[in-house]
Amino acid sequence: MAMRRCPRPSSPERVDFRLVRGPVPAVTESFELGEQGSRTRLEYTGELSTDLWRLGQWWGGLVAPRWEATVAGSLAAVKEEAERRARR
């Protein structure tokens, strides 16, 4: 699945992305850092949009689980690396 995303820093704590080229017409995502007691919290939000009515709905249903799994895997890797560095 080839895709291209365009990042846009909104603030020091937040980065927004939008899909420029990929398997669906529109995807918007944001990653936001926040404090939670003495810990850092990374919050991800994303929205996948489709067109072509029923066909688009079907395609979105097919693509969304892979997209969510990819994001979850990336966030797990980031968490693991951050925790490894914090233990040093």
pLDDT tens digits, residue range 3-43? 566 777 788 899 998 887 777 888 899 999 999 999 889 99
**pLDDT of 1 higher than 60:** no
Task: Give the number of residues written for the chain.
Answer: 88
CA dist 2 and 19 (Å) reads 11
Mean of pLDDT values over 73-83: 92
pTM over 0.85: no
Q: Summarize pLDDT for 49-58 with one digit per residue, the tens.
A: 998 889 999 9
Work out the pLDDT band at 2, boundaries 50, 70, 90.
low
Tell me the residue type at 85.
R
